[in-house]
Amino acid sequence: MAEIGISLPFSIDSYGKINVTDQQPKLWADRVRSVIGTAIGERVMRPEFGSEISYAEFKTSEDAASQIENTVSHSFETQLSRLRLQSVTTSLDEYTGNLNVTIIYALPNQELVTTTLGFVSINGTNPTVKETM
C-alpha cells in the first residue's frame, strides 16, 4: 500500500479537503526540506528536530559549504535514516546572494531524487546598511 501524506505547500482544494499526495519522491522531498529548513530548537515539542544549516549563513561561502555538507550528512544519519545520501553540493549566486544547496539521495525503493534548497547568504563582506554622517 502506498504511503499518503499532506502535499506541501499546505493547500485546500475546491471541495474543502486538504490536498494529499502518494508520490514518494514528493513526500520525501517535503520531508527533507522540513528537516533541513528547520533550525534545531525551533519546534517546541521536538527540540532535537531540524538541522544547524542556518548557522552556515553567516560564514564565508567556502566555510559555509563545508558546514552545510556536514550538517546535511548528520541530518540524514539521525533524522532521515531511511534515505541514503548520495551527494551534497553548494553554489553561491553572486547576483542574488543566495546559497543554493543541491542534495541527491536514494529513496527506500532505491529511486534517486534531487532536492534543491536556497538560502539567503549573509557573510558580512558588504554592510547591509550604509551609514552616513
Q: State the cell numbers at 84.
A: 541514503
The predicted pLDDT at position 53 comes to 86
Distance CA 121, CA 73 (A): 20
CA–centroid distance for 87 within its chain: 14
pLDDT at position 121 is 55
Q: Give the model confidence (pLDDT) of 27-86 as tens digits.
A: 999 899 999 989 999 999 999 999 988 887 777 777 888 888 999 999 999 999 999 999
The residue among 78, 79, 69 whose CA lies nearest residue 104 is 69
Of 62, 64, 44, 46, which Cα lies nearest the Cα of 54? Answer: 64
Q: Give the separation between CA 75 and CA 69, rounded to whole angstroms.
A: 10
Residue 99 has pLDDT above 60, yes or no: yes
Helix axes 24-37, 61-78, angle to 10 degrees: 120
CA 84, distance to chain mean position in Å, is 15
Q: What is the pTM of this model?
A: 0.79
Q: Is pLDDT of 89 > 50?
A: yes
Q: If you ran DSSP here, which 8-state letter would residue 87 be given?
A: E
Instruction: Look at residue 130 and tell me whether its pLDDT is greater than 50.
Output: no
CATH number of 5-120: 3.10.450.40
